[in-house]
Amino acid sequence: MLTVHDFETAARAKLDPVFADFIAGGARDEITVRANETAFGALRLLPRALRGSAARELGTTLLGSRASMPILLSPTAFHKLVDPEGESATARAAAATGTIMIVSMASTVAVGEIADAARAAGGPTAQLWFQLYIQPDLEITETLVRRATDAGCTALVVTVDSPVLGANERNRRNGFHDLPAGLRCENLRDLRDGESGHVRQIVMSPELNWGHIDWLREITSLPILLKGVLHPEDARLAVRHGVDGLLLSNHGGRQLDTVPATLELLPEITAAVAGRIPVLLDGGVRRGTDVVKALALGAAAVGIGRPVMWALAEGGEKGVRRLLELLREELDDTLALCGASGLNDLTPDLVRPAWSGR
Ligand code: FNR
Query: pLDDT digit string (tens) for 149-176?
Result: 999 999 999 999 999 999 999 999 999 9
170 is in an annotated binding site: no
ipTM over 0.95: yes
The predicted model gives 252-268 an average pLDDT of 98
Residue 24: pLDDT over 90: yes
Instruction: Give the separation between CA 320 and CA 101, rounded to whole angstroms.
Output: 12
255 is in an annotated binding site: no
Catalytically active residues are: 251
Q: Count how many domains the chain has.
A: 1
Neighbours of 209 (CB within 10 A): 11
Residue 357: pLDDT over 80: no
Residue among 296, 301, 283 nearest 348 (CA): 296
45 is a domain residue: yes
Ligand 1, atom 24: closest residue by C-alpha: 252
Residue 358: pLDDT over 70: no
Residue 200: pLDDT over 80: yes
Query: To the nearest whole percent, how much of the chain has pLDDT over 90?
Result: 97
358 is a domain residue: no
308 is a domain residue: yes
- Torsion on CA atoms 145, 146, 148, 154, rounded to nearest 10: 90
| Mutation to probe ligand 1, out of 31, 76, 160 (largest number of atoms < 8 A from CB) | 76
71 is a domain residue: yes
Pocket of ligand 1 (CB under 6 A): 23, 36, 74-77, 104, 106, 131, 159, 227, 249, 251-252, 254, 282-285, 304-306, 309
357 is a domain residue: no
100 is a domain residue: yes
Phi, psi for residue 352 in degrees, rounded to 5: -150, 155
The predicted model gives 51-80 an average pLDDT of 97
Domain carrying residue 114 = 4-351
The predicted model gives 237-256 an average pLDDT of 98
The predicted model gives 128-139 an average pLDDT of 97
Ligand 1, atom 10: closest residue by C-alpha: 76
Q: What is the CATH number for 139?
A: 3.20.20.70
Per-residue confidence (pLDDT) for residue 67, from 0 to 100: 98
Ligand 1, atom 16: closest residue by C-alpha: 76
Ligand 1, atom 1: closest residue by C-alpha: 76
Q: Name the residue with higher pLDDT: 279 or 193.
A: 279
- Kindly report which listed range (127-131, 168-172, 188-192) carries the lowest average pLDDT score: 188-192
Per-residue confidence (pLDDT) for residue 171, from 0 to 100: 97
- SS3 for the chain is CCCHHHHHHHHHHHCCHHHHHHHHCCCCCCHHHHHHHHHHHCEEECCCCCCCCCCCECCEEECCEEECCCEEECCCCCHHHCCCCCHHHHHHHHHHHCCCEEECCCCCCCHHHHHHHHHHHHCCCCCEEEEECCCCCHHHHHHHHHHHHHCCCCCEEEECCCCCCCCCHHHHHHCCCCCCCCCCCHHHECCCCCCECCHHHCCCCCCCCHHHHHHHHHHCCCCEEEECCCCHHHHHHHHHCCCCEEEECCHHHCCCCCCCCHHHHHHHHHHHHCCCCCEEEECCCCCHHHHHHHHHCCCCEEEECHHHHHHHHHHHHHHHHHHHHHHHHHHHHHHHHCCCCEHHHCCHHHEEECCCCC
Residue 86: pLDDT over 80: yes
306 is in an annotated binding site: yes
